[in-house]
Structure 1
Amino acid sequence: MPTFTALTTLADGENANRMAEAMEDMDPAPEGVGVFEMEDGSGLWEVGGYFTAPPDDIVLSLLAAAWDARPFAISELPETDWVAKVRRELVPVEAGRFFVYGGHDTDLLPAGRIGLLIEAAMAFGTGHHGTTLGCLRALDRLIDAGFVAHNTVDIGCGTAVLAMAAAHVWPDPVMASDIDPVAVEVAAANVAVNGLTGRVDCIEATGFDHPVLRDRAPFDLVFANILKGPLIELAPSMARAMAGGGYAILSGLLNAQAESIIQVYDENGFALAHREEIGDWTTLTLKKRQ
């Protein structure tokens, strides 16, 4: 599958984040959007989008003009066997009691750790990205604090690594959902490989809009490792779907975006319990008010 990149730079960080949000509404939509402050002392910000179909250069030109950015440079990346590449380059990740590893590193699983086997595949969430690592650390802190979840859902589950982590430590079944059918297939395969069939149920759903999720609510723990725009849209339905005193672990956020998410969720009945930055990314642990 070909991959296309669209990159630009601009001088204003706030405009960079706003343009990145606008890019998420493109058609075809990017698979991911990133905003980074350049480290060359120029004061510029880079905005990049990754696409699996040629991006609309007219829309990109309009976005660049609207946010006072340089014209986008669009490139097609050479096709790469990313699965083989990831297997060669990714090393196990440790997040408290959790140990995320590939099948080629089975012999490295330390005694007493909870192993989460995630093979390189077509879905996000190997534990190496700052957002997934942040969510695992947040879960580890809740466990250490004595919290016990009885009804957990992982929204936008990707590989289902977060759902599986919860299923390993608590006895009640866990839900994992994703809007992408490929991710749901990968999640189900990972669940089976980890011996958690029947403990983690994987479904295709948009947010909480699924009869199974409506029937299972209220949840006392929600993972949502997605993007800022979907997190904002999800806030009201998450508030309705959660029990008072429950926790939401949110990520997929650039550090500069965290305050706006905290504000939106505060308006929807959530209080900030913990915030962690890992590189450019922030993970928020929010508690639903009673």
Structure 2
Amino acid sequence: MTSSQPPATYRASFAIGDEQAAKHVVDVLTEIFFEGDAAVAAFERPDGRWDVTLHFADAPDQPLLRELVGNAAGEDVARGMSFDTVEAKDWVKASLDDLVPVPAGRFVVHGQHDRARVPNNKLGIEIEAALAFGTGHHGTTRGCLLLLDHVLKAHRIGRVLDLGTGTGVLAIAAAKALRWKVLASDIDAASVEVARENARLNGVGDLVTVIRASGLGAPDFAQAGPFDLVLANILANPLKQLAGAMSAHLAPRALVILSGLLTSQASGVIAAYRARGLVPVRHLKIEGWSSLLLRSAN
């Protein structure tokens, strides 16, 4: 009799100083290992450092792996590596069991298994944890949803853009609340498909248009704009780089919600947008992350 329990996997982990260094070492390790040999991932911590994790189906050669990491990231990083075995477990199911519905103003982000736990007076947004980034459990997503709820209570909103949509959670929230068309974009093809499917599952597939685009140069943005509200939950540096292009697509007195930045990075992002005529209105801080609401002064 065979067991359906997935096999144990082997894990190697280490911390590294910043985003650029993390991306470099992930690129190097991804090129070294053949597809399927190892899964490599990097996650930013609230303190600004990055955790890099590799999962292996078979036990890795630890001295060789330390040497590879040392060549890519330095001996200090390699010495700080840790190795362990991850118990056999259905990690997707476990992650869903651990994710309780997340309230954010009028919105509740939940998985399929929690549909019945959404109050009747709330707007449920169903997102599965296994699909992509943005389940609502991260402080940046929740901050965006809280600011979106605030904006919708205080302002009349027409055209909406969700830039860097990920799972589509923000676009879905706006479409459900407004019952109006929303444009969403992402640079990643897989995220575009995930967001489209999530919009369909949430009953707003006819309202949310998802495109694959880098930046704001595609003609779709000019055709759908100018926007009364832009939602952008990305990262601090891309947000700063997009300030000029984004301001060109804003309607007079437009509102912008920005997140994906550590609280220590907020002042730099605010300065970049202030230079483009946007002034800060609200600043939410959740679990070391910041979410900003800005208003166009034009």
Contact 1:6 1:75 in 2 (8 A): no
Q: Which runs of 5+ in 1 are unaligned?
A: 9-15, 38-44
User: For each residue in 1:176-216, what CA deviation from the matched residue of structure 2 results, as whole angstroms up to 9, or x when unmatched?
Assistant: 11111111111111111111111001111112132212322
Contact 1:7 1:74 in 2 (8 A): no
2:265 to 251, 257, 263: 257
In the alignment, the residues of structure 2 paired with residue 125 and residue 212 of structure 1 have an alpha-carbon distance, to the nearest angstrom, of: 24
Contact 2:26 2:41 in 1 (8 A): no
In the alignment, the residues of structure 2 paired with residue 260 and residue 215 of structure 1 have an alpha-carbon distance, to the nearest angstrom, of: 30
Q: CA 1:279–1:246 in 2, change beyond 3 Å: closer, same or farther?
A: same
Contact 1:4 1:76 in 2 (8 A): yes
SS in 2 for 1:206: coil
In the alignment, the residues of structure 2 paired with residue 119 and residue 288 of structure 1 have an alpha-carbon distance, to the nearest angstrom, of: 35
In the alignment, the residues of structure 2 paired with residue 20 and residue 282 of structure 1 have an alpha-carbon distance, to the nearest angstrom, of: 17
In the alignment, the residues of structure 2 paired with residue 52 and residue 219 of structure 1 have an alpha-carbon distance, to the nearest angstrom, of: 42
Of residues 273-282 and 52-61 in structure 1, the stretch that sits farther from structure 2 once superposed is 52-61
In the alignment, the residues of structure 2 paired with residue 149 and residue 49 of structure 1 have an alpha-carbon distance, to the nearest angstrom, of: 40
Question: Which residue in the other structure is 2:278 paired with?
Answer: 270
In the alignment, the residues of structure 2 paired with residue 177 and residue 81 of structure 1 have an alpha-carbon distance, to the nearest angstrom, of: 32
- Counterparts of 1:177-196 in structure 2, within 5 Å, are 177-196=185-204
SS in 2 for 1:126: coil
Q: CA deviation at 1:31?
A: 5.6
Question: Which residue in the other structure is 1:13 paired with?
Answer: none
Structure 1 letter corresponding to 2:152: I
In the alignment, the residues of structure 2 paired with residue 198 and residue 52 of structure 1 have an alpha-carbon distance, to the nearest angstrom, of: 39
Question: Which residue in the other structure is 1:237 paired with?
Answer: 245
Of residues 205-214 and 230-239 in structure 1, the stretch that sits farther from structure 2 once superposed is 205-214
TM superposition score normalised by structure 2: 0.79
Q: CA 1:143–1:205 in 2, change beyond 3 Å: closer, same or farther?
A: same
Structure 1 letter corresponding to 2:186: D
Q: CA 1:109–1:36 in 2, change beyond 3 Å: closer, same or farther?
A: closer
Structure of larger gyration radius: 2
Aligned pair count? 268
Contact 2:26 2:42 in 1 (8 A): no
Please, what is the CA RMSD of the aligned residues? Answer: 3.0
User: For each residue in 1:234-264, what CA deviation from the matched residue of structure 2 results, as whole angstroms up to 9, or x when unmatched?
Assistant: 1111111112211111111111111111111
Q: Which runs of 5+ in 2 are unaligned?
A: 1-8, 29-39, 57-64
TM superposition score normalised by structure 1: 0.81
Q: CA deviation at 1:6?
A: 3.8
1:48 counterpart = 2:51: yes
1:93 to 89, 102, 110: 102
Taking only the aligned residue pairs, the percentage that are identical comes to: 36
